[in-house]
Amino acid sequence: MNILAMITISLGVVFFFGATLGLLRFPDFYSRVHAAGKGDTLSSLLMLFGLGILVLENAHFIDVLTFIKIMMICVFIFVTSPTTTHALTDAGYSAGVKPWQKDDEETES
Amino acid sequence: MRDPSGREDIPMERQGTGTQFVLMFAMCMVTWFVFSGRYDVFHLVLGMISSLIVTWASGDLLSPNRKISMRCAMTISWRMAVYLIWLVIEVVKANIHVFKLALSPNVRDRIEPSIVTFKTVLKTDLAKFVLANSITLTPGTVTIKIEDGVFVVHAIDTSAAEGLQEQMERRVAHIFSEIES
């Protein structure tokens, strides 16, 4: 049980690292949003899930309740994270942010 | 803003408001049980009172204009669960994809962003919402906006954009059984 929790939390950290790296290295607004939106969702879920398992270890009734609460947080993140991504890109699109294309490599600073 | 064409698709049978009230109240109570964690008389009475208030105040919130029959709701929930499992697998794939791209030494050569638009056949707001969020979570694509059923999608490379609407749209449509196949 403990080991499973360790694995999921570490995986979450690794994916968070990937998302942050993508956020820093991708060329424009939209592709950065790709990294942020996807990476955050899965890594938060993994870490929360790991914490949930860790809490379940004693298996008292109150711990089960805590586990359920953590799972509800997971559900909310799963719904809201893509929605915020969508809100971000929509705002950028309406403000006229042009997506980066391969051709205008030179004009990009 | 509700799309007017969404209402007339399937005639649903009306359900008594009494059952709805009880159902809503039960849901509130269960939530209270889980979240409070205390089961003495004082807290239970508090929970009853607040559940009653919430039920009274938001009675028609969970059942919008179209009344959905119990069996229909069960089917939709079941299909949703199956869909969610598929979606979680897609999310993992998407993350591995982003991870690989982020670690590759030449990011600018690997990606080829483009903006794709397509018109959806989905009618209800909920179905569109599910499709938009699914597109965002699957590898290589992010929904930018939906306007009158036209999806604007940003794809990180051209291969990600192909086969996007057919496959995913069919899955979502299957959940809400908007397409009879």
Chain A contacts to B (CB-CB under 8 A): 14-15, 18-19, 21-22, 25-28, 30-31, 33-35, 37-39, 41-43, 62, 65, 68-69, 79, 82-83, 85-86, 89-90, 92-94, 99-102, 105
Q: What gap in Å lies between CA A57 and CA B35, rounded to an integer?
A: 20
Each residue's pLDDT tens digit, A78-87: 888 888 888 8
Confidence of residue A102 (pLDDT cuts 50, 70, 90): low
Q: What gap in Å lies between CA B165 and CA B146, rounded to an integer?
A: 14
Mean pLDDT by 10 residues, chain B (181 residues): 42 55 84 84 90 81 58 79 86 84 77 79 81 82 82 77 70 68 36
Residue B65 lies inside a defined structural domain of this protein: no
Backbone angles phi, psi at A107, to 5 degrees: -70, -25
Residue B145 lies inside a defined structural domain of this protein: yes
Q: How many structural domains does chain B have?
A: 2
Is residue B16 located within the same domain as residue B104? no
Is residue B74 located within the same domain as residue B50? no
> Residues of B with CB below 8 A from A22's CB?
98-99, 101-102
Is residue B49 located within the same domain as residue B111? no
Is residue B49 located within the same domain as residue B120? no
C-alpha distance from residue B115 to each of A27, A29, B104 (Å)? 15, 13, 23
Q: What gap in Å lies between CA B91 and CA B98, rounded to an integer?
A: 10
Is A15 close to B99, i.e. CB distance below 8 A?
A: yes
CA distance B160 to chain A (A): 12
ipTM of the complex: 0.76
Residue B118 lies inside a defined structural domain of this protein: yes
β partners of residue B115: B154
Q: What is the pTM of this model?
A: 0.73
